[in-house]
Structure 1
Amino acid sequence: MDSARQALRSAVGAIAAQPGQILEGVYSSQIDGFFDVENVVIYNLEPSTFRRSSSHGLRARRCRASDAPAAQGFGHKLDYRLTPTPRIPATPLVHLQFELTAFRSVFDVWWAVANGIAVRSAPVPGRFGLYVELSCPTPPANPATKMSILFDGIVAALQREDQPDQEAVKRLALRHGIDAHHIMTRLFQPISDSITSSRSCQLVRPYRGGVQWHPADDLCEDCTLIVSEGSAICNAYVYALPEVQLK
């Protein structure tokens, strides 16, 4: 697997996106179970692999209608290709608009979204996709390095925490210089409580000397990030996925 991964890194690393193109990575299989699709498609190869190919954005997608060979029980397939920049989803369940000036941590994104505007808000009943337009004066040199923080922060901001962990809130307040009461209020009353967690763990809890976030992204199977130079106003769209997602 190490040699296969290295060969894949070399091949993907040689791809250079042109204006109007983004890199799309698709993981195909018919297995059940939950996992972060961006981890399989991007982080398992290391984000540095995508420096040349993700300059305008990237997409990580899970395909359940796999035609991967089932020989010897290995029904898994990864595809990487440059594609035209996809359009904004036509009928999003959720549309958020927020100002993002920093994304060093999940908290930075969560706090920015929590203080933004919910242009549209509706419950997200099942599997969903997330489409994000990241506009900033100085776009990241390699957007792949920011994808996990960005998407985790947005999904966390759509989740209500009925019993926030007091120690976690205290640590966040001290680290970021924000009143603990304001953080608690945002956890109790999110900008939109559209996503319900299917797990019992809390949204944010103490971990070692800091905190650990557990956003309810189990059913997020399509992640698109579009990057452009401009103001720090960003838009995020959550949309429902069909029962079977074809390639």
Structure 2
Amino acid sequence: MAPNDGSLPNYVIAASRPERPAVELWSHHRLPFEAKGELRTMRDDLRVALSHLEPTEGHALYGCYTSGVQDYQCDAENILFYNVKDAGFPHLCRSGFVFERSFQLPPVPPRPMAIARHHHYYEMRPVGGAFRCWVPARTIVSWREIPIEPLTSEVKPAPLWHAMKTAALGVEAATGPPAVFGLRVTVGVPRTARFSVASAVKPLLDGIMSGLHVHDGHDLSDLSVRLADQLGTAPHVISQLLMSDRGAALGERRLLHLRGQGVQWNPADDRCVAAEILVANGDGGWRLSGEIFAVEELGD
């Protein structure tokens, strides 16, 4: 395909066959959080296409972001879901959702366009299916039935981070933080609760992954005071948890930044290339189970 000289569109959206409904987007530019101009139009067109996907019992929404652009500073769940905003995801995610990040070149678009550097693929797929781009290898860290606060659209990462940092984790032999990794999470939800995993995905994943890091010490005192205020606990307790390397399978980094009167979390979610987040309704309280695992690229 030739570079765009203005005569070719910068994106193409296609809805696939009735026997296997799917939505695909090919784009010259990556979809950002604050989409403007043509990117905003692209996002809105994608939302319309996604609204035609139908939820299926026992199926989860699957999304795959493919780009040969080797940019590890972008996380797949943001590009596929969060940046699309209120795309009707909640009714498609009743059982959960799955996402992957592929570093291969995008498939060829169905009609001429500017160079297709980015590709989104969405479909409903059976719960528990294998990943398509990555093969799970060894487990790095796991956790079972961690009690958590009820998840709502207003939830923040802090209580989930705290739950992870104070839980009993099953950590395998240390080999250093993985370059890329996979994640499986099951959220135990009371049968009587109204819960949309789509509305809580970003704080949920940020909280879980942040709980597997150790902070590098930047602005520790101020950060501890602000987190303590959010969590209703003492700042010195927060400081100890932030600097504790217990269960920190994802390594040390500048985990938080001061932002306004609050904090901004900065876990290594850009290194998560395969994830499955499932919802399990039951008679108990809110619980969190899951694992982080090493991955190998399919075909390697």
| Mapped pair 1:94 → 2:149 | no
Q: CA deviation at 1:153?
A: 0.7
Alpha-carbon separation, structure 1, partners of 2:236 and 2:129: 39
Cα separation, 1, equivalents of 2:49 and 2:195: 20
Structure 2 counterpart SS, 1:218:
helix
Out of 85-94 and 177-186, give the one that drifted further: 85-94
How does the TM-score come out when normalised to structure 2? Answer: 0.73
**Residue aligning to 1:188:** 243
1:172 & 1:66 partners in 2: Cα distance?
41
CA contact 2:137–2:296 (8 Å) conserved in 1: no
User: Are the aligned partners of 1:127 and 1:240 in contact in 2 as well (CA < 8 Å)?
Assistant: yes
CA distance in 2, matches of 1:139, 1:223: 24
User: Normalization by structure 1: what TM-score?
Assistant: 0.88
Distance 1:129 1:139, change over 3 A: farther
Q: Distance in 1 between matches of 2:75 and 2:194?
A: 22
Percent identical residues: 25
Aligned-partner Cα distance in 2 for 1:9–1:94 = 36
Distance 1:110 1:91 in 2: 24
Of 42, 57, 63, the match for 1:19? 57
Spell out, residue by residue over 1:39-75, the C-alpha distance to the aligned partner (whole angstroms, 9 max, x if none).
Answer: 1100121145202111110112111223423863223
Structure 1 residues 150 and 245: alpha-carbon distance in aligned structure 2, compared to 1, 3 A threshold: farther
Match of 1:63 among 85, 93, 102: 102
Structure-1 residue corresponding to 2:68: 30
**Could you tell me which residue of structure 2 aligns to residue 80 of structure 1?**
122
Cα RMSD after superposing both structures: 2.4
* 2:45 is equivalent to residue 7 of structure 1: yes
Shift of 1:100: 1.2
Structure 1 equivalent of residue 184 of structure 2: 131
Q: By how many angstroms is 1:229 displaced?
A: 1.2
1:25 to 1:213, Cα distance in 2 relative to 1, 3 A:
same
Cα deviation digits, residues 70-119 of structure 1 (max 9, x gap) = 86322321110011112696742210231112341010110111121212
Aligned partner letter, 1:208: G
From the superposition, tell whether residues 55 and 159 of structure 1 become closer, same or farther in structure 2 (CA, over 3 Å).
same
- 1:236 Cα offset (Å): 1.8
1:167 and 2:222 aligned: yes
Q: Measure, in 2, the Cα distance between the counterparts of 1:19 and 1:107.
A: 32
* CA distance in 2 between partners of 1:85 and 1:191 (Å): 32
Structure 2 gaps, min length 5: 1-38, 131-135
Q: Match for residue 118 of structure 1?
A: 169
- Between the aligned partners of 1:96 and 1:87, the Cα distance in structure 2 is 21
Give the distance between the partners of 2:159 and 2:168, measured in 1 at CA.
16
> Cα–Cα, structure 1 residues 125 and 100, in superposed 2: closer, same or farther, change >3 Å?
same
Report if the CA contact (8 A) 1:102-1:108 is conserved: no
Deviation at 1:31, TM superposition (A): 1.0
Contact persistence 2:216–2:254 (CA under 8 A):
no
Q: Deviations over 1:5-53 (max 9, x none)?
A: 2232122223232232100011111111121111110012114520211
**CA–CA separation in structure 1 for the residues paired with 2:224 and 2:171:** 28
**Could you say which structure has the greater relative contact order, defined with CA pairs below 8 angstroms and 6 or more residues apart?**
1
C-alpha distance in structure 2 between counterparts of 1:135 and 1:40, whole Å? 26
The verdict on how the C-alpha distance between 1:245 and 1:19 changes in structure 2, with shifts beyond 3 A counting, is farther
Greater strand content: 2
Alpha carbons 1:160, 1:187 under 8 Å: kept? yes
Alignment partner of 1:219 is 2:271: yes
Amino acid at match of 1:14: H
Higher Rg of the two aligned structures:
2
Shift of 1:154: 0.9
- Range that drifts further, 7-16 or 82-91: 82-91
In terms of mean alpha carbon deviation, does 158-167 or 1-10 score higher?
Answer: 1-10
